[in-house]
């Protein structure tokens, strides 16, 4: 397989914490094309024939395996829409690392929109890690619009860790999930925007099964003149528990809106929403300054701790 150049290697490191093509099952998409893929004994990756994207089949009972599916875009002006479907068999215990890195050195906008659908089999456990990162010295914008659809079978467990820390000018993130009996969905989302960036994140979780539950936590920092919108709808349609939390730090002239909605459509649905938006508390800065940090260092520590 061809070598990645240094720009792409850096993008790969940013979004997947790896320097080279990963070991085990992977699919690497570069500049709108499938760059390489590798199946493992239990995980097979099949290129879609009707539209861009892949189908991933993870055999029932697959344990302690990981799958990497990074996407790198270094060609300015490239726009793509990719469909990735994950069919996760019953009783699996797997980690999936996705992520998109854009390097836009030109003047045209680059855009990656990924539609990821997860079909999580009975009693399967999935950890899904997704990082979005943008860079580039051109005037072209980096746009990413990920949609995640999750369908969880009885007893399944999914943990999503998503992070967009740098360089994405505009994002509209949509997460929709349906949970069957005793299924659990945990989401930890981290977003940082700066400059004039805009980030929107929408969650819609249907708690349909008995004793299913979700915990959606979004932590974000908005700097400069950036804007963010957090919207969550959690529908409790049975005996279930749901918790959403939106916690944001605003700095400079940034604005953040949080629009939570929790709907209890069953007498035994127990739903909680918490939202807090505010600047860094003065006493936090003072405290770290008494440890010898400058005000700027204190601010950096508070922000990086918050988004850790």
Partner 1 sequence: MLELQHVGFCVPGEGGGKTVILDDINLKVSERFVAITGPNGSGKSTLAKIIAGIITPTSGRVLFDGEDITDLSITERARRGISFAFQQPVRFKGLTVKDLISLAAGEKLSVATACSYLSEVGLCAKEYINREVNASLSGGELKRIEIAEILARGTKLSVFDEPEAGIDLWSFNNLIKVFEKMHEKTKGSILIISHQERILDIADKIVMVADGHIAAEGAKADILPKLLGSMAGCRFTTEVSENG
Residue whose C-alpha is closest to residue 74's, from 15, 26, 117: 15
Give the per-residue contact string, 99-138, with partner 1 (x = CB under 8 A; - = no): ----------------------------------------
Instruction: List the interface residues with partner 1, window 6-45 (CB under 8 A).
Output: none
> DSSP code of 3?
P
Q: Give me the least distance between CB of 190 and partner 1, in Å please.
A: 10
Q: Give me the least distance between CB of 298 and partner 1, in Å please.
A: 8
Residue whose C-alpha is closest to residue 176's, from 220, 122, 233: 233
CA atoms of 58 and 46, how far apart (whole Å): 11
Nearer to partner 1, 237 or 284 (CB): 284
Parallel/antiparallel/unpaired status of strands 53-58 and 43-47: antiparallel
Q: Give me the least distance between CB of 133 and partner 1, in Å please.
A: 20
CB atoms within 10 A of CB 85: 17
Instruction: List the interface residues with partner 1, window 205-244 (CB under 8 A).
Output: 219
Nearer to partner 1, 44 or 284 (CB): 284
Instruction: List the interface residues with partner 1, window 235-294 (CB under 8 A).
Output: 247, 281, 283-284, 286-294
CA atoms of 252 and 65, how far apart (whole Å): 43
Scan for tokens 């010898």, then name that residue: 292
Scan for tokens 């204190």, then name that residue: 298
Exactly one of 18, 46, 90, 307 binds partner 1 (CB under 8 A); that residue is: 307
200 binds partner 1 (CB under 8 A): no
Q: Give me the least distance between CB of 308 and partner 1, in Å please.
A: 5
Q: State the DSSP string of 120-139.
A: EPTT-EEEEEEEEEEE-SSS
Nearer to partner 1, 6 or 290 (CB): 290
Residue whose C-alpha is closest to residue 26's, from 61, 60, 59, 54: 54
Q: How many residues bind partner 1 (CB under 8 A)?
A: 22
Q: Give me the least distance between CB of 220 and partner 1, in Å please.
A: 12
Scan for tokens 């290129």, then name that residue: 47
Residues at the interface with partner 1 (CB under 8 A)? 219, 247, 281, 283-284, 286-295, 301-302, 304-308
């Amino acid at each position: 397989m061809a070598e990645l150049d240094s720009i792409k290697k850096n993008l790969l490191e940013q979004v997947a914490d790896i320097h080279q093509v990963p070991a085990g099952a992977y699919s690497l998409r570069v500049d709108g094309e499938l760059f390489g893929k590798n199946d493992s004994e239990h995980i097979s990756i099949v290129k879609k024939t009707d539209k861009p994207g892949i189908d991933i089949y993870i055999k029932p009972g697959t344990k302690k395996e990981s799958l990497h599916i990074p996407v790198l875009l270094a060609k300015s002006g490239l726009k793509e829409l990719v469909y990735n479907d994950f069919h996760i068999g019953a009783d699996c215990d797997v980690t999936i690392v996705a992520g998109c890195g854009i390097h836009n050195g030109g003047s045209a906008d680059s855009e990656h929109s990924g539609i990821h659908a997860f079909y999580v089999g009975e009693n399967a456990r999935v950890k899904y890690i997704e990082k979005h990162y943008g860079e580039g010295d051109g005037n072209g914008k980096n746009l990413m619009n990920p949609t995640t659809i999750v369908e969880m079978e009885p007893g399944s467990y999914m943990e999503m860790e998503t992070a967009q820390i740098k360089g994405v000018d505009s994002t509209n993130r949509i997460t929709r999930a349906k949970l069957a009996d005793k299924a659990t969905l945990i989401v930890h989302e981290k977003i940082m925007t700066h400059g004039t960036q805009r980030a929107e994140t929408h969650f819609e979780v249907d708690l349909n099964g008995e004793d299913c539950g979700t915990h959606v936590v979004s932590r974000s920092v908005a700097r400069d003149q950036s804007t963010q919108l957090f919207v969550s709808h959690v529908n409790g349609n049975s005996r279930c528990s749901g918790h959403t939390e939106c916690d944001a730090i605003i700095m400079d002239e940034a604005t953040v809106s949080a629009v939570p909605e929790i709907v209890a459509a069953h007498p035994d649905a127990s739903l909680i929403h918490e939202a807090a938006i505010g600047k860094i508390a003065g006493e936090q800065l003072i405290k770290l300054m008494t440890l010898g940090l400058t005000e700027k260092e204190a601010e950096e520590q508070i922000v990086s701790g918050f988004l850790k």
